[in-house]
Structure 1
């Protein structure tokens, strides 16, 4: 039985492929290796984490190509992680989000429906909570006031998946990821941006004057949650569920920077700036539902998980990158 992983060259995708291959699963991946950030990082990530993975170069908007892939490999389960990511970039290039996160998601839903996929697990985001919810964010809170188009597309994915579960009985599970970090992470996110800047002696932009909190979640805990959710499809009448995957421990941005400073062995040059459009002041996951459903129990604090990120940045990019 084959598991199809989309976004397989991405940060979470490559780590997920690695975990699946290590436990003996047959895995086929797809990725379009787009240039949202340097595609070489994606190629190097795959070479380092899952060099034996069968990853096809394919775009989510290529309906014929996707159909041919499904017909060839006949996946029984799908882990759909491919998407156009980034809150701020959605303010600059909205059509990329419509193409990948809406059109591409419908393409996956249709293929899962018509090819008899037993379970679709897909990536949502903590960004869906927007201005509607109060920490700790629980899955029962409203998500109808997004702060960015990215968040709106992820909320739409949850509605679309629910519809397919209701109409066609497609077993689908959405996972709301909370600020994932680790070695080989995305270079546009704070863990790598800050680590690289501190190592190189460059200033870092600290938004909202540092008065922000994030529920930083190590990629190992996220992968554990993905695999747990995959093994536990919904048994409800409408077989669709949504889970938070976070650390349930919001971290002050100043403390986060302090851990990087200690690991880098040098102080950060902070430039305090106002809040950016689309950003959220505080995120915090209520993970009770995921714990009750499949034993999700994040275990990596940033004091232990962040120093290896700084070390990886030093090794991969160099002190002056």
Structure 2
């Protein structure tokens, strides 16, 4: 990476107190090239993450090595849907009104796009999920750049991101005894200590990044969202590739050994998308990783 090319700062930044997640589709089939030109003209702000989806890249006759569409998965009584978007944006910080105006300006600048997800999110109880359990306990913060950023090639400094919106049924979790709840996650809600007797279905067992070969580390930057009507977690995981996330998700869905993650007892994903977050050069998005498609 040259001195003037770097990663998008908000990729590695800590989770803010507030933010908004946006997903866009193309307004029509022929819009991809025009939208990519609009992306090139955007100011690459430090408080924003922008990711390109495979439909946008492919629609312009281009490809990014390692970028693919999000796979729909079906495991034992589990559905993991794909709602692959053309473009993903995270607006970090500021107050809610400011982010509304930033989002409106972005939509106008991009032009031929359609907003399909617009989700205000927030931090809760010092980094906890709405379930009350700490989120991101095993995040590799000391290795964040190594884990999250592409190390070489034309996409150097870029990052891949997996984004899912999960909807919680907290009443199902609250109906359990404290011990049963802790066994769903595999940690104590009070102390965050991992349970020595956690079952194989516990979330910590299904998603233990160091238990994969090779290890499946990713940098998670998830945030709770919602209201009394619908609430849950926007799950966000950055990586130097999409492989680590996909291996973890397959195990959670029970596709490795038939054991589904107990987290599905009170939560379910309703969206899923993969995106490439290009590096930045002179405050513009560097699209050098986009090359002519072979077919």
Higher relative contact order (CA 8 A, sep 6+): 2
TM-score in terms of structure 2 length: 0.27
TM-score in terms of structure 1 length: 0.25
Flag the structure with higher strand content. Answer: 2
